[in-house]
């Protein structure tokens, strides 16, 4: 049986979306997974799905979010990444997986949408779900339908906790 909380859990964090977007908007972004050895894969450097590691982690809004996540989820190994999806594109259903190029993938993530109109996510051929800021089980198959507007979001990749552990901690320690 499909239970949304096994896939996604909306988080209540304090942030100003406009200030946050201004802090990260100039992050250098490049096509996702350009060195994918599977050259036939959609995930081999698509020009519609770009990402970049956010380097300035001490800007006020971002630092506040990092602190909130460290305290509520209890992660000690997290990396914020800016993701850009071009309008008119979709992201095929996938699982964030281990590969030779990425031997230590994130175990789950917190995705925080930076655009006014939020894009849905779809898990395992179930209904689309919209969210603003959510803990995502990246080990469950998920994708994004074709979108009408450009989409920016921050993906806080979590490397030291599974989705279940992060959710349990959040429910216990949320601020």
Residue 44 has a pLDDT of 57
Residue 164, domain CATH: 2.60.120.620
Residue 141 has a pLDDT of 85
Residue 36 has a pLDDT of 61
Mean pLDDT by 10 residues, the chain (175 residues): 84 96 93 66 70 94 97 96 91 70 78 89 81 93 88 95 96 86
User: How many structural domains compose the chain?
Assistant: 1
62 Cβ contact partners less than 8 Å away, ≥ 6 residues apart: 20, 23, 24, 54, 56, 80
Whether pTM exceeds 0.85: yes
Are 60 and 23 in contact by the 8 Å Cβ rule? The answer is: yes
The boundaries of the domain holding residue 15 are 4-173
Strand order in the sheet with 142-144: 91-94, 142-144, 121-123, 128-129
Residue 76 has a pLDDT of 95
Residue 42 has a pLDDT of 59
Residue 156 has a pLDDT of 97
């Amino acid at each position: 049986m499909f239970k949304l909380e096994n896939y996604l859990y909306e988080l209540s964090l304090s942030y100003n979306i406009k200030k946050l977007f201004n802090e990260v908007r100039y992050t250098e972004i490049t096509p996702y997974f350009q060195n994918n050895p599977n050259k036939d894969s959609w995930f081999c450097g698509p020009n519609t799905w770009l990402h970049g590691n956010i380097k300035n982690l001490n800007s006020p809004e971002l630092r506040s979010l990092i602190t909130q996540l460290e305290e509520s989820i209890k992660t000690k190994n997290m990396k914020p990444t800016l993701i850009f999806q071009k309008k008119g594109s979709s992201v095929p259903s996938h699982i964030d997986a281990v590969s030779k190029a990425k031997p230590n993938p994130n175990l789950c993530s917190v995705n925080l949408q930076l655009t006014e109109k939020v894009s849905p996510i779809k898990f395992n051929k179930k209904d689309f779900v919209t969210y603003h800021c959510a803990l995502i089980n990246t080990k469950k198959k998920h994708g994004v339908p074709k979108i009408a507007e450009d989409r920016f979001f921050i993906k806080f990749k979590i490397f030291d906790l599974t989705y279940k552990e992060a959710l349990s901690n959040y429910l216990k320690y949320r601020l």
